[in-house]
């Protein structure tokens, strides 16, 4: 039987602290130029929910940082896979802002988060290579694609891929987009096994000529704040239009390479960035095959968990895999599509069989 790369362990960390939309009612939201927004906060929040589908998001505890929650998710994935951590060949951690302590604006990435996770796991094997991936929201999926390449080349048998982010530490309270972001971590163990299925095909593209700075770091909308402090920012409409145009095409390219029929796809695990945007992407994807999007094809966690960047797909996968989402389950033999889009602007997709 052909050797394939399969997910053998899954784990996640979803913070307990819930920040509802109502928690933003006292914020002073401002336009990008610092001017006052005419709408009242209740109207701003109502419009935000209608556009994004987000009702709540999760924030990590004050004493934790991104590498801590990456470690927690990793421990669960290792336990779920039932492997000895010393046999892990690569630890790949996807994130965007490193460790940012509570009420601090300093990003800490030295040593790498992957090295910190390896240290916390107390892995002694020096041939367990630990490194980070900075690839925007598609970072976790790109880590999966890289690990697959290592395994197909015979360079690894066991890999730990983690997506972890604490976006609550880098948001501008005067920016309406601050309501989008949340925290979380998800991890998988990938193993080279003598089974059918696994990773069948993948696709990655990077658009930078006009799109490189659609998501960026900049000063607060409150111009009286220090111009030395930076927060996550984005041109929302540009991101939306870019995603609707390009993500379906990348998904189709990946599926066509896999030789899997679209009617055989059971679930689409897409980056949870905006509910309406994700639905529109999947609808356009199916229209490329002259089909209507099937019901319950796309599990969604954004309404309750918000956008945790690199953590959204692996945490969503963990929820579905462990039957924690109504109307969604995965069975052995099921074909699924993973897809993500984010800063860079990067897009990737994977066709996978459980």
Which CATH number fits the domain that encloses residue 54? 3.40.47.10
pLDDT tens per residue across all 354 residues of the chain: 578 999 999 999 999 999 999 999 999 999 988 899 999 999 999 999 999 999 999 999 999 999 999 999 999 999 999 999 999 999 999 999 999 999 888 899 999 999 999 999 999 999 999 999 999 999 999 999 999 999 999 999 999 999 999 999 999 999 999 999 999 999 999 999 988 899 999 999 999 999 999 999 999 998 888 777 889 999 999 999 999 999 999 999 999 999 999 999 999 999 999 999 999 999 999 999 999 999 999 999 999 999 999 999 999 999 999 999 988 999 999 999 999 999 999 999 999 999
Phi/psi of residue 118, nearest 5 degrees: -60, -40
Last residue of a domain, one of 139, 172, 195: 195
Residues 207 and 313 in one domain: yes
Residues 218 and 330 in one domain: yes
Residues 10 and 82 in one domain: yes
Query: In the chain, what is the straight-line distance between the N-terminal and C-terminal CA atoms, in Å?
Result: 16
Contacts of 82-85 with CB under 8 Å at 24 or more apart are 82/9, 83/8, 83/9, 83/158, 83/189, 83/191, 85/121, 85/122, 85/123
CA dihedral 254, 258, 260, 266 (to 10 degrees): -50
Residues 183 and 226 in one domain: no
Structural domain for 211, as ranges: 200-353
Predicted local confidence at residue 1, as pLDDT: 57
Residues 9 and 158 in one domain: yes
Instruction: Tell me the CA distances in angstroms from 59 to 35, 199, 292, one per residue in order.
Output: 28, 32, 36
Residues 122 and 166 in one domain: yes
Residues 212 and 136 in one domain: no
Residues 169 and 260 in one domain: no
Instruction: Tell me the CA distances in angstroms from 354 to 198, 252, 265, 329, 350, one per residue in order.
Output: 6, 20, 11, 12, 13
Spatial separation of the C-alpha atoms in residues 23 and 171, rounded to whole Å: 14
Residues 6+ apart with CB under 8 A from 195: 1, 4, 6
Digit-coded pLDDT (tens) for 37-81: 999 999 999 999 999 999 999 999 999 999 999 999 999 999 999
- Looking at the whole model, is its pTM more than 0.75? yes
Spatial separation of the C-alpha atoms in residues 300 and 307, rounded to whole Å: 11
Spatial separation of the C-alpha atoms in residues 339 and 268, rounded to whole Å: 8
Quote the tokens at residue 331.
């069975």
| Residue 316, number of CB atoms within 10 A of its CB | 28
DSSP 25-90: TT---B-TTSPBPSS-HHHHHHHHHHHH--SEEEE--TT--HHHHHHHHHHHHHHHHT--GGG--E
Spatial separation of the C-alpha atoms in residues 281 and 239, rounded to whole Å: 12
Last residue of a domain, one of 195, 221, 245: 195
Predicted local confidence at residue 311, as pLDDT: 98
Backbone dihedral region for residue 344 (phi beyond 0: left; psi -120 to 50: alpha; all else: beta):
left
Residues 134 and 241 in one domain: no
Digit-coded pLDDT (tens) for 184-211: 999 999 999 988 899 999 999 999 999 9
Last residue of a domain, one of 173, 195, 217: 195
Spatial separation of the C-alpha atoms in residues 95 and 97, rounded to whole Å: 6
Residues 38 and 99 in one domain: yes
Residues 113 and 35 in one domain: yes
Domains identified in the chain, total number: 2
* Residue closest to 83 by CA, chosen among 165, 153, 11: 11
Quote the tokens at residue 212.
């490189």
Predicted local confidence at residue 103, as pLDDT: 87
Backbone dihedral region for residue 16 (phi beyond 0: left; psi -120 to 50: alpha; all else: beta):
alpha
Residues 60 and 147 in one domain: yes
Predicted local confidence at residue 4, as pLDDT: 93
Predicted local confidence at residue 344, as pLDDT: 92
């Amino acid at each position: 039987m052909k050797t394939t790369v399969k997910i053998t362990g899954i784990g996640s960390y979803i913070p307990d602290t819930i920040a509802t939309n109502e928690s933003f009612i006292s914020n002073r939201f401002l336009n990008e130029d610092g001017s006052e927004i005419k709408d009242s906060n209740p109207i701003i929040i109502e419009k935000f929910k209608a556009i994004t589908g987000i009702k709540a998001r999760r924030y990590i505890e004050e004493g934790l940082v991104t590498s801590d929650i990456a470690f927690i998710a990793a421990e669960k994935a290792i336990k779920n896979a039932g492997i000895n951590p010393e046999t892990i060949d690569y630890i790949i951690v996807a994130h965007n802002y490193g460790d940012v302590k509570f009420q601090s604006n300093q990003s800490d990435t030295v040593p790498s988060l992957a090295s910190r996770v390896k240290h916390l796991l107390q892995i002694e094997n020096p041939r367990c290579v630990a490194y980070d991936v900075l690839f925007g929201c598609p970072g976790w999926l790109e880590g999966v694609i890289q690990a697959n390449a290592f395994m197909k080349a015979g360079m690894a048998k066991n890999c730990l891929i983690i997506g972890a982010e604490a976006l609550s530490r880098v948001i501008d309270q005067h920016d309406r987009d601050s309501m989008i972001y949340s925290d979380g971590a998800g991890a998988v163990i990938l193993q080279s096994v003598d089974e059918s299925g696994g990773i069948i095909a993948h696709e990655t593209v990077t658009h930078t000529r006009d799109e490189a700075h659609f998501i960026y770091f900049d000063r607060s909308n409150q111009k009286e704040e220090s111009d030395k402090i930076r927060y996550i920012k984005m041109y929302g409409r540009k991101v939306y239009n870019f995603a609707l145009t390009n993500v379906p095409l990348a998904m189709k390219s990946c599926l066509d390479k896999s030789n899997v029929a679209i009617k055989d796809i059971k679930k689409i695990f897409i980056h949870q960035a905006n509910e309406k945007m994700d639905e529109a992407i999947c609808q356009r994807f199916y229209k490329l095959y002259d089909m209507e999007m099937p019901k319950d094809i796309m599990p969604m966690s954004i309404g309750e968990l918000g956008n945790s960047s690199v953590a959204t797909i692996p945490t969503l996968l963990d929820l579905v895999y462990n039957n924690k989402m109504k109307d969604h389950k995965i069975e052995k033999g099921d074909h699924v599509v993973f897809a993500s889009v984010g800063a860079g602007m990067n897009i990737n997709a994977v066709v996978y069989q459980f």
